[in-house]
Amino acid sequence: MTATTGELYRATDATGTEIRLNQPAERIVCFTATGIDILAELGLASVGYLSQGIADYPESYGDRAQQFTAIGFWMLPNLKTIRQLQPDLILGWRFPYRFYQHWLRQMAPTYLMSGSGYNPALARLRDVAQLTGRITEAETAIQQLESQLQTYRTIIYSPSQKDRVNDGRLYAEFAFPSIHC
């Protein structure tokens, strides 16, 4: 369910800091491609992003990436530019941004991420959904992913597909559907 006005939007980040918002975050600055991906799944876009990063790739935001304000580089954020953007929320990895968290948290609540793998990725998506009031969108994206994974499992473990999996043809058909293997 999507959170409504008046509810408290909260999540705890990888540093153990609880982020509490009185309204859903709308102006979000991202220091990480993971944050860009999460926002895309939630139907949102970042107002600021790194000077060089995945947001420039067509599969992320395409031409809309030109609307992002450059906020510096991975190890050297431009704090003045971030302050000027007046973000409601800042997303970044625990490393290296834990070293900047004192200054970042003076500008906006800052959600720092860590960990890898499937379950931590889902937890991050759900946390940012909580902070942006996009819970329904997150659960829909997770259901779609689970459904797609189940489709792949069914195909891969099908006896008729076993030979195609073993020689790589099935992967090629998924990765390059316009090329007939």
The full set of domains in the chain, from first to last, is 9-133 (3.40.50.1980), 142-175 (no CATH)
Give the pLDDT confidence score for residue 181 in this predicted structure. 46
Give the pLDDT confidence score for residue 71 in this predicted structure. 83
- Cα dihedral sign for 88, 94, 98, 100? negative
β-strands 89-93, 76-77: how paired? unpaired
Give the pLDDT confidence score for residue 3 in this predicted structure. 45
Give the pLDDT confidence score for residue 167 in this predicted structure. 55
Give the pLDDT confidence score for residue 164 in this predicted structure. 55
Give the pLDDT confidence score for residue 132 in this predicted structure. 97
Give the pLDDT confidence score for residue 4 in this predicted structure. 46
Overall pTM > 0.95: no
172, containing H or E segment: helix 169-175
Give the pLDDT confidence score for residue 100 in this predicted structure. 85
Q: What residues form DSSP beta bridges with 74?
A: none
All residue ranges of the chain with pLDDT < 70 are 1-7, 52-56, 58-61, 65, 158-181
Give the pLDDT confidence score for residue 162 in this predicted structure. 54
